[in-house]
Amino acid sequence: MGVVAYGVTADERPLLERALGGTYDLRCLDLILNRDTAATAAGRRVVCSSVNDVLDEEVLRVLADGGTELVTQRATGYNNIDLSAARALGLSVARVSSYSPYAVAEFAWALALAVNRRIPRAVSRTRDFDFRLDGLMGRDFHGRTAGILGTGRIGTAFARVAAGFGMRLLGNDVAPSEECRALGVEYVGRDRLFAESDLLSLHAPLVPDTRHVVDAAALARMKDDAILINTSRGGLVDAHALVETLLAGRLLGVGLDVYEEEAGVFFFDKSLEVMTDDTLARLMTFGNVLVTSHQGYFSRDAVRQIVETTARNIADHLAGRTGDDTLVAPGRADGEGGGGG
């Protein structure tokens, strides 16, 4: 049976080949799946998509016409897939509802520590044998306030580390976590979360209520010397408002592993091209902003779990089974039985 995987990195390929190559006729591509590349899936019953693929009605129709039965996304989020169109076309859709929360939580802390202690600037200097400390002063996280927007599995893992640093913990979530409460997290409204956090880390899914949750008004409430970290979804932050805030000399630092318009940019080499996204280009000019390319999930443990779940999704589809990772299946309402993002 034919399986084609899109957006496959060099590090991910051996794991996919080990999990799927012995059972299926597997083709791994580094292409992003969109209207220009959808025809490459012709004759493949299963498409393994990545989070940056564009699976709108037009693309899904090309897949269905080419013989695809299942789209299984190697990610938790699925806002890039038109589920209604998939159902109308008779396609099944699955995702990876969960994987190692520590991968993303630990990476969020890596960004926070790097921004706070000016590590990228320090490394750049010492490579030029400049060993001055001017401009590199950070501050202790111990005793300061960590705000966590979204206290699911990743947010809870982030909170455990914050508790280990001896920080005061504030949280905001529509469904408070008892484990977070036990760690000492005080649940507060968003306005208070923004106003009191010295370090604000975003771990919420991207839904209508959270799109641009960090907008100009939210940024205005934050402390002038706060640190903002986003390893969740780019759309949580109004990037234009963030640029204006930074231009005003506010915020101690920002760490972004995701960006609202990252599709077609992140995961690609753009070093020889003109950056046409003015907002991203401006963000990259600030010395206190650290941008990475959506790599928070990219640990060996997490990717292995993602690949194993993908293999299980394919096996379930072929056996006529559905589960918590199924988003669309014939005879079932969109997303029924699926976990949260």
Q: Output the CA torsion 218→222→227→230 (10° steps).
A: -10
Distance of alpha carbon 106 from alpha carbon 237, whole angstroms:
20
Q: Is 240 a catalytic residue?
A: no
Catalytic residue among 233, 260, 282, 317: 233
Q: How far apart are CA 113 and CA 290, in angstroms?
A: 11
Catalytic (active site) residue 233: yes
Based on the residue annotation, tell me whether 27 is a catalytic residue of this protein. no
Phi, psi of 290 (to 5 degrees): -115, 120
Distance, CA of 172 to CA of 155 (rounded, Å): 10
Distance CA(320)–CA(142), nearest Å, equals: 52
* DSSP 8-class letter at 73: E
CA distance 302 to 298: 7
Which residue has 């564009």 as its token pair?
54
CB contact at 8 A, 225 and 197: no
Alpha-carbon distance of 56 to 85, in angstroms, equals 8
**Which residues are the active-site residues?**
233, 262, 294
